[in-house]
Amino acid sequence: MLVRFERTDALIVVDVQNDFCPGGALAVPQGDEIIPVVNRLIKKAEEADAIIVYTRDWHPKNHLSFADFGGIWPVHCVQGTPGADFHPDLYVSPQGAIVNKATDTEFEAYSGFQTVELHRILKNRGVKRVFIVGLATDYCVKETALDAIRLGYETYVIEDAVRGVNVNPDDSARALEEIRSKGGQVVSSQVFDEVR
């Protein structure tokens, strides 16, 4: 299987933020190791004039997901803080759009589609296929992929461009299997490599 980005494709870069990378408040183990692969895919998408969307957690400081407010997570990705910034090694394309999520104190938002903005951006461009990369496999990547499938997009998760939290050791593997079981595809970034 070889893949070439088309203008009606979208690359969704999920939450490659400082707080989800080593040294951050809610670090995904080796989360930063995906960045060279992600950057290579962003450049390929850019060359094809495919749409590139970056999602980011953009929490208010009293978000319900935080342990201090009854949630299960440490404080992370608070609006306007360095932890909420994209990782400095991530290539942020000038062609890209940024979608903020989990901006409401009272609502969790793992999926990038939990705001209507992402779906609207994709529909306006006539997107048919979405390719998903980023953090974390077992939470925001999984939920974004499952919503994309539900919304009728042909959905691919690029396995070597995602990493998981793995609260339980097999959480990421189970997440990818759930995506497959719902009709998504899990592929390697190498499917792009032979295409010139």
| Catalytic-labelled residue, pool 21, 77, 101, 142 | 101
Active site residue 101: yes
Interatomic CA distance for residues 186 and 158, integer angstroms: 6
Contacts of 169 (CB under 8 A, 6+ apart): none
Could you list the beta-strand ranges (E) of the chain.
Answer: 9-14, 51-57, 97-101, 129-135, 154-163, 185-187
- Determine whether 15 is an active site residue: yes
Burial degree of 38 (CB within 10 A; 0-12, 13-18, 19+): buried
In the residue annotation, 21 being an active-site residue is answered as no
Out of 57, 138, 140, 142, pick the active-site residue.
Answer: 140
Residue tagged active-site, from 9, 15, 19, 147: 15
CA torsion, ordered 60, 157, 113, 116, to nearest 10 deg: 120
List of E strands, 60-195: 97-101, 129-135, 154-163, 185-187
Give the residue carrying structure tokens 């529909």. Answer: 123
Please list the active-site residues: 15, 101, 140
